[in-house]
Structure 1
Amino acid sequence: MLLKTFGWSFAITALGLALAGVLWGWQGLAIVGILSILEISVSFDNAVINAGILRKMNAFWQKIFLTIGILIAVFGMRLVFPVVIVAVTAKLGPIEAVNLAINDKAQYQELVTSAHPAIAAFGGIFLLMIFLDFIFEERDYKWLSWIEKPMAKIGKLDTLSIIIALVVLLVSAMTVATSVAHGGGDKSATVLLSGVAGLITYLVVGGISGYFEAKLEEDEDEDGDGDEDGEEARETAVAPAKNGNGAVVGLAGKAAFFMFLYLEVIDASFSFDGVIGAFAITNDIFMMALGLGIGAMYIRSLTVFLVHKGTLDDYVYLEHGAHYAIGALAVILLITIKYEIHEVITGLVGVVLIALSFASSVIRNRREGKPGDSSGAKSEVPSGV
């Protein structure tokens, strides 16, 4: 199971480290290895969030996420995205931006770093909305009940998460954005605009995905009505999609498509701090892409492992820990508009929260006599990454 799930990651690691050694020697090999560890530690909670969404998608779209999705994550976010940021902020053409990244690494790093306030505001507000919508939703399982119970009660006001996100954005623009650490000067307008863009992106992509997902569930429930056997009802509901019923396939496809977009935006938001933080180690875009890309492969493989093993069903507080980590990362991103926070701290916060939620899940299972590898239904997912 381990080799089947992480086989591609092991292979890419070996190939990537060998390539780094050939191109840049022992120093380059060490830098690529450090970048890989940085990406894994910073994005560990991303795997838990991805698994929670990926298990809702059918096998076809899971495969898309694990193939096209990894190309977007590695080449799009770790290589192309920083170059695009430079091109937009410096008003350069794509070719000029690439030449700058290759031939004038110091200037390239300065331009990417100066764009950090906009990136942090977009990613921070997007991730904050994910956390707020989670904490305000009524759930069967509560990890920190002293927080989650009152939050679920006041969360019945539908627009509360939006109001809080806008207030946080406004406070950030009036405080940390007035004198930023990256690029200097007052970036209040930039932070406000980018934060609103992050909020709109979340509402549009998440809203459309949720709409189609809910509609698909309603159609499946209608198809299953009147069937005494629940399992047969589920099979009946799924059967039209397998047999080529156009309406059901199209609806499922739309729901999965927007969930895929949602996943990619989440991954992008998680990768912002990793890309910016990587400049503390190297300003070579190819080293950066290779190191962060290897780390991203392990996050994808870990996502597959969590889905395939049904880990989120066995350890019910893991998603809570991951969402608290998301909330912490959102706050950290907004703070870094003005203040420097080391990537080790960012990574440790997420790892510690997930570790605590895992430990709480283990204690709960033992208390209720449920083994860690419970016999609940496991989600099948392609393990080609």
Structure 2
Amino acid sequence: MVLKTFGWSFAVTALGLVAAVFYGGWTAFGIVAILSVLEISLSFDNAVVNAGILKKMSAFWQKIFLTIGILIAVFGMRLVFPVVIVAVSAKIGPIDAVNLALTDKDRYQELVTDAHPSIAAFGGMFLLMIFLDFIFEDRDIKWLGWLERPLAKLGKIDMLSVCIALIVLMITAMTFATHAHQHGGAHVDKAETVMLSGIAGLITYLVVGGLSGFFEDRLEEEEEREHEEEEKAKRAGKPVSAVKLAGQAAFFMFLYLEVLDASFSFDGVIGAFAITNDIVLMALGLGIGAMYVRSLTVYLVRQGTLDDYVYLEHGAHYAIGALAVILLVTIQYEISELITGGIGVVLIGWSFWSSVRRNRALAAAEGKAEASGEKAEVSSGV
């Protein structure tokens, strides 16, 4: 089962890591490995969400999502999107960006370095909004309860995350972006660049969130309509079969999943800029990660169960928050890729271990309850 589901992912991993070694040696190997872990961890909850929705869809639409959908996810968002970001930020064509990255790395590095403040501000704000909306939401399961409980209470204030994000952006522009920089032969106010790019990142997050909300509402309407039709059929005495969602409902579900995947891709791609500016290494690392997201989705659908490691989602979002802060700091200061990638790996590893300990504690408690129940039955029988 595991080999059948993850076989393609294992193959892509091996090819990607070998390609990284040939491209840039063992340093490139390490960066691609870190990017792969980062993408998998940040998109893990995406696989869980996808599985929960996919199981409601017909076999045809499941196949569409897992074929056409993965092409859009891997080639569109993980491979093309980093090139587009560099091209727009450096004000060059996408083809020129790829050519420079492959043939003139010094010039490419110069352009990316010059464009880094705008990339970091855009990405930092987008990731910060993801993190803030997560920690301000009141959830049944809390990982770091001492921190998440008071933040959940504060989250009841409307637009709090947007206000905090804008305050952080203003502080960043006044501290890390106080010096002018050269761009295209002219001096540009870095603070202005950071402010505009940060606002663009905030707007992008709100637009993506709005689209996700729109498709989610349409899905709920379609599901309610189908539920009403099932109830009418029951009252009429007609047989009711467990028909998977198809037609218009499945189409909206497909669009909803694509928008969701795009939003999750944003944090992976933008977080990758905190680790490396090399679009080849980004494509390799994020492509490997995207394949595992697909495999996880298929695995969860086929197993008919969602993930037991309940704190992984928390760990991934704390990693997103750390990446957001690091991106904003890198507007002024350089931070080692090992530190950036290591923080994310540590947070996710910590959340995984916490989940394992929680599962063991629950299993032990259930075992004790069963044992005490058996003792009570024996004593009452005596």
TM-score (norm 2): 0.76
Q: Which of 309, 317, 320 is 2:311 aligned to?
A: 317
Any idea what the Cα deviations from partners look like across 1:45-98, whole Å, max 9, x if unmatched?
Answer: 213232243234335666556544554555445654454445434444455444
- The SS at the match of 1:368 is helix
- The SS at the match of 1:115 is helix
Separation in 1, partners of 2:248, 2:214: 14
Q: Which runs of 5+ in 2 are unaligned?
A: 232-238, 366-382
Query: 1:222-261, aligned counterparts within 5 Å?
Result: 223-224=226-227, 239=243, 241-242=245-246, 249-261=247-259
- The SS at the match of 2:142 is coil
Shift of 1:166: 1.2
Shift of 1:37: 0.9
Any idea what the Cα deviations from partners look like across 1:311-363, whole Å, max 9, x if unmatched?
Answer: 75422222122112211111111111111122222222222222222222222
2:243 maps to a residue whose letter is A
Shift of 1:104: 2.1
Q: Highest Rg: 1 or 2?
A: 2
Q: 1:118 to 1:57 in 2, by over 3 A?
A: farther
Q: Which residue of 1 aligns with 2:374?
A: none
Shift of 1:107: 0.3
Q: Which runs of 5+ in 1 are unaligned?
A: 228-234, 243-248, 372-385
Separation in 2, partners of 1:331, 1:118: 15
Q: Which residue of 2 aligns with 1:170?
A: 170
Query: 1:82-97, aligned counterparts within 5 Å?
Result: 82-97=82-97
Separation in 2, partners of 1:308, 1:180: 55
Separation in 1, partners of 2:364, 2:67: 35
Are the counterparts in 1 of residues 218 and 252 from structure 2 also a CA contact under 8 Å? no
Are the counterparts in 1 of residues 20 and 32 from structure 2 also a CA contact under 8 Å? no
Are the counterparts in 1 of residues 90 and 115 from structure 2 also a CA contact under 8 Å? no
Is 1:53 the counterpart of 2:45? The answer is no
Shift of 1:224: 3.4
1:53 maps to a residue whose letter is V
Is 1:115 the counterpart of 2:120? The answer is no
Q: 1:218 to 1:158 in 2, by over 3 A?
A: farther
1:165 maps to a residue whose letter is A
Q: Which residue of 2 aligns with 1:349?
A: 343
Is 1:190 the counterpart of 2:193? The answer is yes
Are the counterparts in 1 of residues 222 and 249 from structure 2 also a CA contact under 8 Å? no
1:124 maps to a residue whose letter is G
Q: 1:239 to 1:28 in 2, by over 3 A?
A: same
Shift of 1:6: 2.1
2:158 maps to a residue whose letter is D
Any idea what the Cα deviations from partners look like across 1:84-139, whole Å, max 9, x if unmatched?
Answer: 44543444445544443343221012112222221121221112111111111121
Any idea what the Cα deviations from partners look like across 1:243-294, whole Å, max 9, x if unmatched?
Answer: xxxxxx4355335414422322331332234256335xxx6x5566445534
- The SS at the match of 1:177 is coil
**Farther off after superposition, 153-162 or 92-101:** 92-101
What percentage of residue pairs aligned between the two structures are identical?
59
Aligned residues: 352
Cα root mean square deviation, aligned? 3.7
Are the counterparts in 1 of residues 300 and 306 from structure 2 also a CA contact under 8 Å? yes
Query: 1:324-363, aligned counterparts within 5 Å?
Result: 324-363=318-357
Q: 1:200 to 1:63 in 2, by over 3 A?
A: farther
Separation in 2, partners of 1:129, 1:166: 10
Q: Which of 32, 35, 54 is 1:39 aligned to?
A: 35
1:36 maps to a residue whose letter is V
Q: Which residue of 2 aligns with 1:210?
A: 213
